[in-house]
Structure 1
Amino acid sequence: MRKLIVTEFVTLDGVMEEPTPWQAGHASPEIGLFKREELFSSGALLLGRMTYEGFAGYWPTATDTGEFGERMNILPKYVVSSTLQAVAWNNSHLIRENITGEITKLKAQEGGDILVYGSGELAQFLLERGLADQLNLLVYPVVLGSGKRLFGAEGAGLKLVDSQTYSSGVVRLSYALGAKA
């Protein structure tokens, strides 16, 4: 059975919304290496509509992205959306109905793990329903005070399985997910 791994960029105060502006100045080769290893060990991407549209607008025509860009374009991509009518990016598949059932089927297939990048609403859906097996948080040393957060009031049954501090001050926390507390 494949694992479903959710990876999110969050601020120290838990905001996950629009990471590009607050990520500035915190890039490091170690983060790049982690993201590369994460992508290359995965067998598929699971994305929400907004993340999919952003990626589909960039990766197919991006130049000088090397093996990372090639991998992004080759991997099977599953897009959860109730509003999209079609998906055009190479090897993309639309999930519109019975989302829990379809994701459960994907997890039961042979192949590498399923990776969720960003996709905030989808990540919340997966966590709330116990569909995610691992959560990787890249916590940036930034406090915004307000914005969309990953977690609501309920706990997610997190068990820390790995962590790493990067030279830029970002900390990666990897959690196995269990039953809700």
Structure 2
Amino acid sequence: MGTIVVQAFITLDGVVQGGGGPDEDRDGGFEHGGWAANYDAAYGAAEDGQIVREWESRTEALLLGRRTYEIFAGSWGVWDEHAGGFQGELTRRYNRIPKYVASRTLTGLGWQNSQLLGPDVPAAVQELRAQPGGEIRVWGSTQLIRTLAGHGLVDEYRLVVYPLVLGTGKKLFSDGFTPARLTLAETRALSSGVLVNTYRRPETD
């Protein structure tokens, strides 16, 4: 059976919006875009990068909402596979693995090995999860995560927690999110003050 793993860069007050760049997501007039990138630039991202490299080496498919898919397709989907270092490595991997996209508006997908999940997203994801395989990775996609959690389809959360409070922005666990009891499976404190926490559903669930 596959494992649905949500990964997120998150602030102390739960914000996940626009961490990667100033124009990544300005919904609601969000003005703090790039908060994670700025923090990494100030403190160094070597440890964070190694952790993400370890995680992504286990990724066998991506599961994305429309907005995150479009961001990824416009970056990883067009970047040079022959680039050096982590960028080239991850570009090659993301191009080759399957990408499954939840969208009510898209009718076609241009990024190679991408396909739409169809109108019944929970049922489609349940089928994916039931197949033999490894980790199915969810990045961004807060609305999709909310849907998956509501149907008991998230097996693990990997949260990179930054010591920042923004006071505004989209949250991973917003009001009305399905209640869940999770187990802290692993925690790691980085020299920058960032915490890397892994939470799993108890096996008895």
Could you tell me the TM-score, scaled by structure 2's length?
Answer: 0.82
Partner of residue 64, structure 2: 47
Native 8 Å contact 2:160 2:195 kept in 1: yes
Partner of residue 55, structure 2: 38
Native 8 Å contact 2:187 2:195 kept in 1: yes
Gaps of 5+ in 2: 21-33
SS in 1 for 2:169: coil
Partner of residue 79, structure 1: 101
**Higher strand fraction: Structure 1 or Structure 2?**
1
With 135-144 and 119-128 compared, the bigger mean Cα shift is at 119-128
- Structure 1: distance between partners of 2:3 and 2:187: 19
- Structure 2: distance between partners of 1:69 and 1:97: 29
Pick aligned residue for 1:169 from 193, 196, 199: 193
Superposition deviation, residue 87 in structure 1: 0.8
SS in 1 for 2:91: helix
- Structure 2: distance between partners of 1:30 and 1:36: 10
- Structure 2: distance between partners of 1:60 and 1:161: 33
SS in 2 for 1:100: helix
Is the aligned partner of 1:158 residue 2:158?
no
How big is each residue's C-alpha offset from its partner over 1:123-168, in whole Å with a ceiling of 9 and x where there is no partner?
1211222100001111111101122111135532111000111222
SS in 2 for 1:37: helix
The within-5 A match list for 1:20-39 is: 20=20, 21-23=34-36, 24-26=38-40, 27-39=44-56
AA aligned to 1:16 is V
Superposition deviation, residue 66 in structure 1: 2.1
Superposition deviation, residue 22 in structure 1: 0.9
- Structure 2: distance between partners of 1:36 and 1:101: 30
Native 8 Å contact 1:8 1:118 kept in 2: yes
Partner of residue 56, structure 1: 73
Is the aligned partner of 1:90 residue 2:103?
no
AA aligned to 1:19 is G
Partner of residue 2, structure 2: 2
Q: Give the CA RMSD over aligned residues.
A: 1.7
- Structure 1: distance between partners of 2:136 and 2:77: 20
> After TM superposition, which residue ranges in structure 1, 4 or more long, deviate above 4 angstroms?
none
The within-5 A match list for 1:130-149 is: 130-149=152-171
Gaps of 5+ in 1: none
- Structure 2: distance between partners of 1:168 and 1:69: 27
